[in-house]
Amino acid sequence: MEYSGEEFDVIVIGAGVMGSSAAYQAAKRGHRTLLLEQFDFLHHRGSSHGESRTIRATYPEDYYTDLVLESYALWERAESEIGYKVCFKAHQFDMGPAHSKSLRAVIASCRKNSLPHKALDAQQVARQFSGRIRIPEDWVGVYCEMGGVIKPTKAVSMFQTLALQNGAVLRDNSEVTEIKSLKNGGVLVTTGRGSHGNNDNNGGQFRGKKCVVTVGAWTRKLVKAVSGVELPIQPLETTVCYWRIKEGHVPDYAIGGDFPTFASYGEPYIYGTPSLEYPGLIKVAVHGGYPCDPDERPWGPGMSLEAMKEWIEGRFSGRVDSGGPVATQLCMYSMTPDEDFVLDFLGGEFGKDVVVGGGFSGHGFKMAPAVGRVLADLALTGEAKGVDLKYFRIGRFEENPKGNVKDYEDQVNHFFND
């Protein structure tokens, strides 16, 4: 086994959007940084590829607001450094049954955080969107100015390029097989020989003062292998669907106009973006998927489409063909029981030398710039300012296997019963 002889301040394992953002943050601060990826850079086996992701500030959980607002600013800062755009502005529209606690909590959170928004009834929604979106009479809508669409593969490439420009070392096809705690502090990271059939890789060992683990759907496997800690992070395979906009209505649903990114609360939770990546097609998908082993995926066939077909027919007034999607893409979720992130020290023999970022549960991409900042802070300084990390602790699952309790009653009552 080759030991490179190099010692890094930070070794980041996993070069998806979170790891690439963390590597950029560490390198930008002048720290010797190594970014390792088990597959090719920009591969399609995980959670950080594809054509679009939504960014929105409307969350029922208050503790995400600051992360999202910081991320908006950090996306723009990174774009200014790289010289091209990865995030495109749009408004955000949330909708659902009027009695939905989570949707009412979105409104309460908007009020609490002074986010510009409008609560709309069914008639107001029809007028707001000139009939392009309609909701049932017993539903409400929340129209917020802060939405947008991110180009994911382009964004990951941006962070990797910026990390490289700031002095980081990037190595792909380097699967980490072992992380050992060193007696004098720091860690020894071992990569496998010829990982995933790549015979050009002879494996290696790298010393790091600190280590950040951001391996997405492989988090549970790697953390258990190196520490014995069992994190309740379940990989899911999800299907992203694109539907054809009917002739004469394509401009009505395109990015750059006033058509928003959107989310529909209830069962199932449905989300989507304006037409951008594929002209004439609109992205509408279900938040969720099927449990799987990330190394032995089924690669489809995906989930039942009946609920989505019905939703599309009802919401888009027949202007989008609901017969079936004309294109689909597969992606991975890394789900925690409460759908909240894990941003914490691994602890045990590793103490604060190993930081874990995982369990982003299908909604973390938008916050990658702030998450990268937090992970770099934790690794380099032992703390992260500007965000309450109690909701993202590993230990919360020991206290309650389901994690954070999501009861929005108090939050809703405070703002609706004053």
- DSSP string across 226-264: HH------EEEEEEEEEEEBPTT-GGGGBTTTTPPEEEE
Residue given tokens 């449990």 in the structure block: 291
Q: What is the mean pLDDT of residues 333-343?
A: 98
Closest CA to 20 of 360, 384, 373: 373
Q: What does residue 357 show for φ and ψ, rounded to 5 degrees? A: -120, 115
6-48+153-232+337-399 classified as CATH 3.40.50.300: no
DSSP 192: -
Give the CA dihedral 154, 159, 15, 23, nearest 10 degrees: -170
Q: What is the pLDDT of residues 145-190, one digit of tens each?
A: 999 999 999 999 999 999 999 999 999 999 999 999 999 999 999 9
Residue 168's contacts (CB-CB under 8 Å, 6 or more residues apart) are 23, 24, 26, 27, 33, 34, 35
pTM, two decimal places: 0.95
First to last CA, the chain: 66
Closest CA to 1 of 143, 205, 253, 194: 205
In the chain, which segments carry CATH 3.50.50.60? 6-48+153-232+337-399
pLDDT at 273: 98
pLDDT for residue 418 is more than 70:
no
CB-CB contact of 75 with 87 (8 Å):
yes
- Write the CA distances from 70 to 206, 213, 372, 393, integer angstroms: 33, 22, 11, 20
> d(Cα 404, Cα 400) in Å, to the nearest integer?
8
Quick one: the chain helix, strand, coil %, rounded to 5? 30, 25, 40
Q: What is the pLDDT of residues 361-415, one digit of tens each?
A: 999 999 999 999 999 999 999 999 989 999 999 999 999 999 999 877 665 555 5
Residue spans of beta strands (DSSP E) within 145-203:
149-150, 169-171, 176-181, 187-191
Q: What is the pLDDT of residues 292-324, one digit of tens each?
A: 999 999 998 877 899 999 999 999 999 999 999
Residue 173's contacts (CB-CB under 8 Å, 6 or more residues apart) are 37, 38, 39, 40, 195, 196, 198, 200, 201
In the chain, which segments carry CATH 3.30.9.10? 91-146+234-335
CB-CB contact of 50 with 249 (8 Å):
no
User: Domain 91-146+234-335 - what CATH class?
Assistant: alpha beta
What percentage of the chain reaches a pLDDT higher than 70?
Answer: 94
CB-CB contact of 87 with 80 (8 Å):
no
pLDDT at 197: 53
> d(Cα 242, Cα 264) in Å, to the nearest integer?
17
- Backbone dihedral region for residue 189 (phi beyond 0: left; psi -120 to 50: alpha; all else: beta): beta
Closest CA to 168 of 29, 46, 373: 29
Token pair in block for residue 238:
């999800």
Closest CA to 191 of 74, 58, 34: 34
> d(Cα 319, Cα 140) in Å, to the nearest integer?
21
pLDDT at 351: 97
Per the prediction, the chain carries an average pLDDT of: 94
